[in-house]
Amino acid sequence: MSAQAQPREVEPPAAPSRYENRELSWLEFDARVLALAERHDLPVLERVRFLSIFNRNLDEFFQIRVAGLKEQVQAKLGASGRDGLPPARQLELIAERVRTLMARQHRVWVRSLRPRLAHAGIRVLDWSQLDEAARRVCRSRYEERIYPILTPLSVDPAHPFPYISNLSLNLAVGVRHPSGGGVRFARVKVPPSLPRFLALPDGERFVPIEQVIAACVDTLFPGMEVTAAHPFRVTRDADVELEIDEAEDLLQAIESILRQRERSPEVVRLEVHRAMPAGFRDLLKEELGLSDLDVYATGSTLGLADLDELAALDRPDLAYPRWSGVTPAPLQPVVAGRSDVFEVLRAGEVLVHHPYEAFDTSVELFIEQASRDPAVLAIKQTLYRTSEEDSAIVRSLIRAAERGKQVVALVELTARFDEEANISWARVLEQAGVHVVYGVVGLKTHAKISLVVREEDDGIRRYCHIGTGNYHPETARLYEDLGLLTADPEITADVADLFNFLTGYSGQDRYRRILVAPLTLRRGIAELIAEQARPGGRITMKMNSLVDARMIDALYEASAAGCEIDLIVRGICCLRPGVPGLSDRIRVRSLVGRYLEHSRIFRFGADEEARYFIGSADLMPRNLDRRVECVTEIRQPQLQRRLDEILAVCMADDVLAWELGPAGWTKVPPSSRVDAQAALQRLAQERAAG
């Protein structure tokens, strides 16, 4: 079944008051990340890390979301969302909000973080703050390691304005001949191969590399007078469309997309230091085809996503206490060598909760044992995102193929910003004899599923893993996610059918225990919501984003019918809670903290009648209609209690939690000081200790 078989419904516009704007709601999520950088009670390097994440998020927002809005404006399209805001008006509101956030960022970096870092022995200094000895060191480093790789590009009638690459940091340099004449413009790109902060020999002082280059830039223009050198940064459209029906080879098509992204023609944002002269700013605007709305001036350091370099310094006294996930109690005998994972799963299902429970002694262990077990006949695996350099799961798949097992890896080549790593792994897997496939035409495969087929004394038995997060060891330490390991015959049969849908030709549209997008998930969730649309009805959902208008309308109807609804939405939420007559019984909160809340949990009903689901899908149109997603029901009472425990802790949080009301997001005031992530960490330790 392909995407072409899914008709696109044309929905009538609705009253703007029913929905929050998607893009502005996303910015409010990033504002909550910025608020973590502003928290004085957090370790200073963690605050620096949150400021880096805030900037990286904003970069992606402009590359994808703002770029899309600008395309709509150019195409002269009207309002495209249910909120009723035309694209041009959205861009105006975005620019206004981003400027406010940038002012907050400047204050926290200059007035709080830099002084706190200095107090801890990490001094980020401007060139003007260096003594002469430090300047000599910087000039020496410049001559030895920086100057040889710099390339000045002048702009004059003989030299057209150069291409400015996406997210690159540059210097706009003014030069003129000593004998007179006007100031000419030149561009010097800061090589991305260099560390962003040059460390002085004492290991305590750091200087932004662009300031070192600016101080020495006259060496690039011998015989000329340098009048100014000001940093600027460009963001381009990175959401290049793939015409998949026209692509004969998907691998080659994605590689072409990566080349297009590197040289995307559309600039969507220009960042400059506010000290840059108006003439330089106007020249950049004109050459890049931008308006005043697209120019963001700051008194702060540009490109603060690079602060992750400082956040990674080996100063455990300035960071969160180290945490290594515990091994789930049922799997401890496996790690100790007293049992195997298949024996454990035959005795009962195992629910794993990352990062509180370790990825390597649960999910990786499952695939690793399957790879070397002589009774295992086949392994099937989806790979949406995995590590760029080292992946234990990929190594296990290669080992299994080399031992003659039937191994299938569905690699999603179009996972945004992970395309290059996925292409590399796809080739490595193919060379090892793994059957590599790329999914269903027109649908991105976002499901997180693994299937192991094993020959046992009583016949063929299947085992599987269904998760909410990627098979990525690094994100498993940073993202909060859930996974189900099971030998349940119905679930494993469903997953086997789903793999057949993904790798072959299948008209399968019925499943026993799982909901699959784009086939049954939308209808299934809608029916579950409708069943609770009554007095005494109860719905609790935890997800990353809530955008889909039909799902929002279903929740509004359930609320109006008497259902009590609690939503835990980390990021975008287009539903408006607490509106009289519309959403009186709906409450929305967001948890933003050390770990990225990433799991999806859906509970329908109360007490004994409640039904529980976990899976890969958020309630967004793309997840419900344009991706392959897998959501599984959890029926084992012990595991249901685990999910209730997670939801209860998240609802009790008053340290990380924010609440959404008709007037927007507000921080939950601390009273009982419940930090959900710290509490779940303790619970995992207690459970592992028995």
E strand or H helix at 604 = strand 601-604
Q: Active-site residues: which are they?
A: 446
Cβ pair 288, 182 in contact under 8 A: no
Tokens describing residue 151: 């390339």
Looking at residue 566, its amino acid is: D
- What span, in angstroms and rounded, lies between the C-alpha atoms of 269 and 264? 13
- What span, in angstroms and rounded, lies between the C-alpha atoms of 441 and 245? 8
Q: How many residues does the chain have?
A: 690
Q: How far is CA 678 from CA 649, 654, 656, 674, in A?
A: 10, 12, 10, 8
- What span, in angstroms and rounded, lies between the C-alpha atoms of 406 and 468? 25
Which phi and psi (to 5°) does residue 142 adopt? -60, -50
Nearest residue to 501 via CA among 426, 451, 432: 451
Nearest residue to 523 via CA among 509, 533, 535, 534: 509
613 bridge partner residues: 602, 633
Residues 6+ apart with CB under 8 A from 360: 392, 473
Q: How far is CA 644 from CA 352, 594, 649, 651, in A?
A: 14, 22, 9, 10
- What span, in angstroms and rounded, lies between the C-alpha atoms of 353 and 329? 12
Cβ pair 405, 244 in contact under 8 A: no
Nearest residue to 126 via CA among 303, 301, 306: 301
**Edge-to-edge strand order for the sheet containing 197-199?**
123-124, 205-208, 197-199
Nearest residue to 553 via CA among 523, 576, 536, 572: 576
Which phi and psi (to 5°) does residue 382 adopt? -95, 140
